[in-house]
Amino acid sequence: MKYLSILTSLVGVALGARPFLDVADTGLEDYLVGSGNWTEGTLPSLQDMRALPDFEFSAKQVLADEDWAFYRLAAGQEWGYRNNFDVWGKVQLRPRFMTNVVNLQDNIGIELFGYNFSAPFFIAPAAQAGYAHPRGELNLAEAAGDENLLYNAALFATKTIEEIDEVKRGDTWNGRQVIFQQIYTNNNLSITWNDLDRAKKTGAGAIVLTIDTPGNSVRVRGARYSGQDYWEIFDEVRSRTDLPIILKGIATVQDALEAVERGADGIYISNHGGRQLEFSPSPIEVAYEIYRNAPEIFQKVPVLADSGVRTGSDVLKLLALGVKAVGLGRPFMFANVYGYEGIIKAIRLLKNEIIQDGWNLGIGSLEDLEPSFLNLNTLAQNVNLLDN
């Protein structure tokens, strides 16, 4: 027994020390090298993309170093970035068998603010899509429209709000594609009001107001000169538009509660993909904190989430806790090295994973998902309980 105990300890240390894989090993590189039809530094065939991490590998082959670094960068020593991926392994699935799953493929759509979308995930706001392809965000908008998927356009895009508006599809959502528009506040609030007006004129379905980047020096100066706290600015934004306002960057149950109390139409759990604050919690950790402390939030407003999502099972885990829609940013930026067709392929791969994983989980509809499908014991060890 003594030797067994020592062996067990050594195995634990070895597993704990295993290196972090920047790109998940899907077997793509071995396949490409073995095929003899691919040269390192060139773009693999789109037909060889079988999972979202494949697009990251492909993008690294062809992007300029500085463009790759922009997409890949994270805060500090990148603990938050790594945790966004590692945390999914702490939440095991609890499948149910002998259930009716036949119609799941027809029941993965969602509704947000009166708009129906074909899947419970969306293209999250990510800046500078033009680094991957000359058409940049136009590819994202067109692919989302053709797949009836929500696209949340980034404010800091390579194409303007108006240019993106020009390529919206005209055969969905009562005659015209609906896009949600991300907005940042600016030290000159007249710029913010102008951005709001432009979004309204181009038919935005909602405003996604990002709140998790106060460390930017421009915004710090803006707050200093305006003499307003963030909630005062939110109230002004609220008074200037009748569009739904979703607050992006929620990282605690306290902020979630206050956002709902102050009239936010939705909340958006995010740690900016690990890019903003090191040691910030992952989306599933925040979703669980809300579930344990204030589960009624999920009934009061739609809850969106992003950061570190790469698989259909990641999406299902967040939905099981009460999240309504799950965003992905980097995977679609990487897929854009293939242009429009790459975005389409990525969307369809993830839809298929959600259906396949959902079948094996034992659900016939997204409505069947609930926290009992998850083993949350590991998360429970770290969650902040308000009554403690």
Q: Which residues are catalytic?
A: 272
Rounded to the nearest 10°, the torsion over CA 113, 353, 71, 141 is -40
CB contact at 8 A, 284 and 88 = yes
Alpha carbons within 13 angstroms on the beta-carbon side of residue 256 total 31
Distance CA 206, CA 237 (A): 12
373, 94 in Cβ contact below 8 A?
yes
Q: Please indicate if the annotation marks 331 as binding a ligand.
A: no
Question: For residues 154 and 271, what is the distance between their CA atoms, to the nearest angstrom?
Answer: 16
Instruction: Please tell me whether 270 is known to bind a ligand.
Output: yes
Joined tokens for residue 325: 């829609």
307 is in an annotated binding site: yes
**What's the rounded Cα separation, in Å, for the pair 350 and 312?**
6
Is 126 annotated as contributing to ligand binding? yes
* Residue 125 labeled ligand binder: yes
Q: Any alpha helices (H) in 63-160, and if so which ranges?
A: 65-72, 79-86, 137-146
DSSP 221-281: HHHHHH---HHHHHHHHHHH--S-EEEEEE-SHHHHHHHHHTT-SEEEE--GGGTSSTTPP
Q: Kindly calculate the radius of gyration of the chain based on its CA atoms and give it in whole angstroms.
A: 21
Alpha-carbon distance of 56 to 328, in angstroms, equals 13
**C-alpha to C-alpha distances, 302 to 167, 171, 326, 365, nearest whole angstrom:** 27, 26, 11, 18
Is 335 flagged in the annotation as binding?
Answer: no
* Residue carrying the six token digits 């979308």: 117
Main-chain phi, psi angles of 121, to 5 degrees = -125, 165
Contact 38, 238 (CB under 8 A): no
| Calpha distance 21→32 (Å, rounded) | 19
Lookup: tokens for 331: 């995977």
Q: Is 219 annotated as a binding residue?
A: yes
Would the annotation count 225 as a binding residue?
A: no
DSSP 375: E
How far is Cα of residue 255 from the mean position of the Cα atoms in its chain? Answer: 19
Output the known binding site for glyoxylate.
184, 219, 272, 275
Output the known binding site.
125-127, 182, 184, 210, 219, 248, 270, 272, 275, 306-310, 329-330
Output the known binding site for FMN.
125-127, 182, 210, 248, 270, 306-310, 329-330
